[in-house]
Amino acid sequence: MPSLMRPGTVSALTIAIAGAGIPASFPALAQESPPQAQEQTLHLDEMLVQEAIQRGLAEIEMARLAEERAEADAVHSFAELMLEQHGKLNERLIQAAREIGAEIPSGPNESEASVIGRLKTLRGAAFDEVYAVGVAQDHMRHHNLYARLAGYASAPVLRRIGAEAVPVLEEHLAAAQALRVEVRPIAQGPLGAVPDQAAEPSEATPQRRQAPYSDEAEGAEP
């Protein structure tokens, strides 16, 4: 069967497509499977909401421990605020996870579970120090995570939760940093040590050697 296109028609069509800003290889784009793209988008949403729920569960559990084990009034007040606000936030996240069909985590991730385990060995001023340093670090991560929810989630409910949570978490971050300075002044000694306990000069310097949560607490319970 003779071709229905006159000589030069293909070249003219290619030029027209290029002039319209459409890639000449547009048939290759049609080969991408829409279901595959949707699956990738859902996977990102699941990862974000699951991480947010896990971080919220860790924050709530640490706050509960602070209510039982903390000494400083400032730590008790901060923990009470975390219980109330992160509790409500996690309820919204869990409902959103159900709406998009994501599996709901039953507890914190492994890293945060180890932090909680560490806090369970401490009481009083030693607990206050480790908790204050931890929440200051964790709330920076919280803030960044919810900013990603607001900017990258495809589900409108997740974007909305992220956008509404970011300013609240900015307030939490400022309060956590203030708490960290109040409870543990810089170069005070080994993290988690009993207050006024003598320390070797090398132990009193930077947390380069003694990263939060990983050092042996001298104030730990046997």
Q: What is the mean pLDDT of the chain?
A: 76
Cα-based distances in Å from 66 to 37, 101, 110, 137, 196: 44, 34, 20, 16, 22
* Mean pLDDT, residues 45-54: 96
Taking the C-alpha atoms of residue 151 and residue 146, their distance in angstroms, rounded to an integer, is 9
Would you state the pLDDT for residue 42? Answer: 76
Q: pLDDT grade, residue 34 (50/70/90)?
A: low
Q: Which helix (H) or strand (E) holds 157?
A: helix 156-183
Would you state the pLDDT for residue 199? Answer: 39
Give the predicted TM-score (pTM) of the model.
0.68
pLDDT higher than 60, residue 113: yes
Would you state the pLDDT for residue 73? Answer: 95
* C-beta separation of 56 from 109 below 8 A: no
Would you state the pLDDT for residue 16? Answer: 41
pLDDT higher than 70, residue 158: yes
Amino acid at 200: E
Q: Which domains does the chain have, with CATH numbers?
A: 42-189 (1.20.1260.10)
pLDDT higher than 70, residue 27: no
pLDDT higher than 50, residue 219: no
Encode burial over 152-174: b for 16+ CB neighbours within 10 A, e otherwise.
Answer: ebebebbbebbeebbebbeebbe
